[in-house]
Amino acid sequence: LFTVQGTFVDPVSTFTFRYGWACLLLFTLGFGAGLFDIPLAAYMQHRSPAASRGAILAASNFLTFCGTLIVSVLFYGLRAGLGMSSGQIFLLCGVITIPVFVYIVWLIPQATIRFLVWLASRTIYRIRVYGREHLPEHGGALLTPNHVSWLDGVLLLLTSSRPIRMLVWAGNFQNPWLKRLGALFGAILIGDRPKEIAAALKTAREALRNGELVCIFPEGAITRTGQLQAFKPGMMKVLQGTDAPVIPVYLDELWGSIFSFKGGKFFWKWPRRLPYPISIFFGPPVANPQDVHQVRQAVLQLGATAVQQRSRRLTPLPCSFIRRCKQRLRAAKVADSMGTVMTGGQLLIRTLVLRRLLRRHVLSDAEKFVGVLLPPSAGGVVCNMALAIDRRVAVNLNYTVSSGVMNACIQQAGIRHVLTSRKFMDKLNLELDAEVVYLEDFKDRPTLADKLLSAAAAYTVPASRLEKSLGLNKLTSDDIATVIFTSGSTGQPKGVMLSYGNVASNVQAIDEVVHLRSDDVVLGVLPFFHSFGYTVTLWTVMSIDVEGAYHFNPLDGRQVADLCEKRKGTLLLATPTFLRTYLRRATPEQFQTLEVVVAGAEKLPRELSDAFEEKFGVRPVEGYGATELSPLVSVNVPPSRSAKTSDIDLKEGTVGRPVPGVSAKVTDLDTGETLGADQPGMLWITGPNVMKGYLGREDLTTEVVKDGWYMTGDIAKIDTDGFITITGRESRFSKIGGEMIPHIKIEETLTKLIAAGEEEGLKAVVTAVPDAKKGERLVVIHTSLDQSPQQLCEGLSREGLPNLFIPSADSFHQVDELPLLGSGKLDLKHLKQIALERFGGGST
């Protein structure tokens, strides 16, 4: 390779093509040897028993040096004795390594195959592993991952440094080659017959006793919905008679890959990106689990941690808005009942123009919180998006409250300007402690430059460059997206700070559960000051490839029905109160395109679901959430978007399973201990959707958020399939005679007795006032009834309610109508005031 000239080496003088080629070959030889030698050495170090590892490594080094010596002598003999050239010697060495290679592959086939699969997977996937330290280095353990795709088992084998024996269905290994491969990796095949199942579980149990790692997918099948399914009891049989811990595992980001069932099919879909990101989380061991529910809760909580980690990498919502507008440049993106229809390009242009005008004429650079007083409409969307892409916090104010309450909210947030419409403001008759900016006044202010620059940005500038020019690349998931003031149904409104990570994780969960499509049209009837309106009908529409159609009054059934008919609405989010209005006002033809109807805020009666389905052909499902939780916690999968497999994804009477990434638990009201399945207690929620906190009220935040868990104030139970049933609010219980009396239970029975029918709505509500003798006195606030209070009390007794659950006949009070909040929920605070004014705190 080098020539010597005089007393020094001069490689440059003879640098030729052959010289460079020789260097490249030597480098390739060394690289190939490294691929061969280093994994082999690592394998030997890792698999050697700790007690004799030093001796084994010493013997290996001795043999290596002996081999080097022998090869040196052989090389000299071949060169000097036989006169072979260097190329011939290298060729001979290569031929000699072939049987050595075959022997090593035969000796450790698992490691060889695993290495080849690892190389391929690293090309296609970007795998992140968290909590690997929870995998024990020695001894048996049972791994219990969620089952999302066909690759789950392979990925676990790649990420574990120890062999894992997988419990798999024998039907997938009918092919002789697959059967041989399964046997090679120690797979435990489970048949369909009881004897085969028992034998497989016994084999798995013996493997645990022998100190091996065993993996079982407790769900028993790949999820068809993206949600964690019920765990089968077979897992507990594997653990019987062993002291092996359970290692919860959560496979994240696989839902949506070509090997998952997203879109209703396996395999036949394009990968969303390459390399495809995958995260695998190993949780702390669960020793001696009492039942499968405990293990499922551990996996669910690990999933919340996984999605929380993922949410930090999600695209900021304003960036998603820009990309979706560019995706639908010439397709309708936003419409409203006033006749406005905007394509994605038009929406982006108007948003950019309004941003320029607000910066030039209204807002200072230091102004962070900006009030918005607009109903659900195209204008309301443009205003919110203009503030978002300007990295300001839009505070949508509740226009159904008094001036005093609204000004308290304005003061809390430090709002200096409120953006609104003169036409809308004239109807409200509010006096605000902030400068009111009427958007109509900007109609003639855009210059030609404003319009041209905004149009060029919308239609020609790449999204990434536009985002960078707006400074959106500086946004993080922890930045505040909005402040939503709670409805104050049980107290004074509090400013809930929701981050971009909070809202984005909820949007992604909605997409995963409801399976949104590009031809979906979301009917936006909930106001943007309502958390469901803000997250679902505003940001879900803006950051996903769907259309939004808006109407400013959710109780205007005829207009909502007309809008649905014109825009061919497919998804409606409302309260049961609103659904009753649509049941009366809409015709079947107007709602014939509806596919998904989700009800929240109050209990969804079965009678209402039956009547709605009978008239419109679509059955409403119930969901659950809270402003502090961004807001969606759980939802039943709508029948039209169900995979229609053996997976259970809907249970009427419940509020559904937690959406992906959200974990729920129930604790004892007195001791705070975590309860098992079907035991009612306080409902706690954790996940990336838990709020940043209450604005300026750290004390209130620490009262309800503990170690990342939010105390909902709702009494609930979680069944073995993971479905949540809300039995009442803590504030909607009365303690009488030492017993907790649920108001909702009494209300449900009263509604049944009153026989109000699905079109009449709720006619009686239970509250309580202080009582000198019993502690509390039950009070019924009702509208006009056909039956007397005495008859209703007798009916409650006939229905089997205990005497403590039955209000006295003189504890009924009639009102013209039950008070509601702007969100459609009962105004519990006002009801309490009515009861106190009528009955005070006296005794019965």
| N-to-C CA span, the chain | 108
Mean pLDDT of 35-62: 81
DSSP string, 717-786: EE-TT--EEEEEEGGGEEEETTEEEEHHHHHHHHHHHHT--TTT---EEEEEEEETTTEEEEEEEE---S
pLDDT bracket for residue 701 (50, 70, 90): very high
Of 573, 543, 549, 547, whose CA–CA distance to 385 is shortest? 543
Instruction: State how far the Cα of 213 lies from the Cα of 510, in Å rounded to an integer.
Output: 36
Domain ranges of the chain: 13-114, 121-311, 317-724, 737-839
Tokens of 31: 């690289």
Residue 650 pLDDT: 87
pLDDT bracket for residue 504 (50, 70, 90): very high
CATH homologous superfamily of 317-724: ANL, N-terminal domain (3.40.50.12780)
Q: Which of 71-75, 252-256, 665-669, 829-833 reaches the highest mean pLDDT?
A: 665-669
Helix, coil or strand: residue 168? strand
Mean pLDDT of 717-727: 90
The yes-or-no verdict on residue 671 having pLDDT over 70 is yes
Q: At what angle do helices 344-361 and 317-327 cross, to 10 degrees?
A: 140
Instruction: State how far the Cα of 730 lies from the Cα of 75, in Å rounded to an integer.
Output: 86
Mean pLDDT of 523-532: 92
The yes-or-no verdict on residue 756 having pLDDT over 60 is no
The yes-or-no verdict on residue 10 having pLDDT over 80 is no
pLDDT bracket for residue 725 (50, 70, 90): very high
The yes-or-no verdict on residue 222 having pLDDT over 90 is no
pLDDT bracket for residue 562 (50, 70, 90): very high
Residue 75 pLDDT: 82
- What's the whole-number average pLDDT of the chain? 86
The yes-or-no verdict on residue 844 having pLDDT over 60 is no
Tokens of 35: 């691929």
The yes-or-no verdict on residue 395 having pLDDT over 80 is yes
Residue 100 pLDDT: 78
The yes-or-no verdict on residue 841 having pLDDT over 60 is no
Instruction: State how far the Cα of 792 lies from the Cα of 597, in Å rounded to an integer.
Output: 33
Mean pLDDT of 680-707: 92
Fold designation for 121-311: Glycerol-3-phosphate (1)-acyltransferase (3.40.1130)
The yes-or-no verdict on residue 12 having pLDDT over 70 is no
CA–centroid distance for 799 within its chain: 41
Residue 3 pLDDT: 44
Query: Which secondary-structure segment (H or E) carries 125?
Result: strand 125-130
The yes-or-no verdict on residue 4 having pLDDT over 50 is no
Residue 1 pLDDT: 44
Mean pLDDT of 772-793: 86
Of 260, 258, 507, 503, whose CA–CA distance to 396 is shortest? 503
Q: Which of 360-364, 400-404, 648-652 reaches the highest mean pLDDT?
A: 360-364
Residue 40 pLDDT: 76
Residue 67 pLDDT: 84
DSSP string, 10-65: -SSTT--HHHHHHHHHHHHHHHHHHHHHHHHHHHHHHHS-GGGHHHHHHHHHHHHH
Fold designation for 737-839: GMP Synthetase; Chain A, domain 3 (3.30.300)
Is 637:621 a contact under the CB 8 Å cutoff?
yes
pLDDT bracket for residue 644 (50, 70, 90): low
Residue 159 pLDDT: 83
Instruction: State how far the Cα of 233 lies from the Cα of 231, in Å rounded to an integer.
Output: 7
Q: Which residues is 657 bridged to in the sheet?
A: 635
Residue 26 pLDDT: 82
- Residues with Cβ within 8 Å of residue 479, at least 6 apart in sequence: 316, 391, 499, 500
Question: For 274-306, what is each residue's pLDDT tens digit?
Answer: 777 888 999 999 988 888 899 999 999 999 888
Instruction: State how far the Cα of 593 lies from the Cα of 124, in Å rounded to an integer.
Output: 40
Mean pLDDT of 547-571: 94
* 426-431 contacts at long range (C-beta below 8 A, 24 or more positions apart): 428/373, 428/399, 430/399, 430/403, 430/406, 431/403, 431/407
Residue 108 pLDDT: 67
pLDDT bracket for residue 759 (50, 70, 90): very low
For 70, other C-beta atoms within 10 Å of its C-beta total 10
Tokens of 550: 């808006």
Question: For 84-101, what is each residue's pLDDT tens digit?
Answer: 887 788 788 778 888 877
- The total number of residues shown for the chain amounts to 844
Instruction: State how far the Cα of 30 lies from the Cα of 723, in Å rounded to an integer.
Output: 58
Question: For 182-203, what is each residue's pLDDT tens digit?
Answer: 777 778 888 778 888 888 888 8
Mean pLDDT of 44-53: 80
Mean pLDDT of 828-834: 84
pLDDT bracket for residue 382 (50, 70, 90): very high
Of 122, 119, 120, 104, whose CA–CA distance to 43 is shortest? 104
The yes-or-no verdict on residue 738 having pLDDT over 60 is no
pLDDT bracket for residue 664 (50, 70, 90): very high
More confident residue, 402 or 676: 676
Tokens of 142: 């049972």
Is 308:661 a contact under the CB 8 Å cutoff?
yes
The amino acid that residue 119 corresponds to is: L
The number of C-alpha atoms within 13 Å of 429 and in the hemisphere containing its C-beta is 0
Residue 690 pLDDT: 95
Mean pLDDT of 311-323: 91
Is 573:598 a contact under the CB 8 Å cutoff?
yes
Residue 593 pLDDT: 94
pLDDT bracket for residue 646 (50, 70, 90): low
- C-alpha pair distances (Å), 193 with each of 173, 199, 200, 327, 366: 16, 10, 11, 52, 70
The yes-or-no verdict on residue 735 having pLDDT over 80 is no
Residue 843 pLDDT: 44
The yes-or-no verdict on residue 492 having pLDDT over 70 is no
| Across 227-231, 316-320, 647-651, least confident range | 647-651
pLDDT bracket for residue 9 (50, 70, 90): very low
The yes-or-no verdict on residue 647 having pLDDT over 90 is no
The yes-or-no verdict on residue 689 having pLDDT over 90 is yes
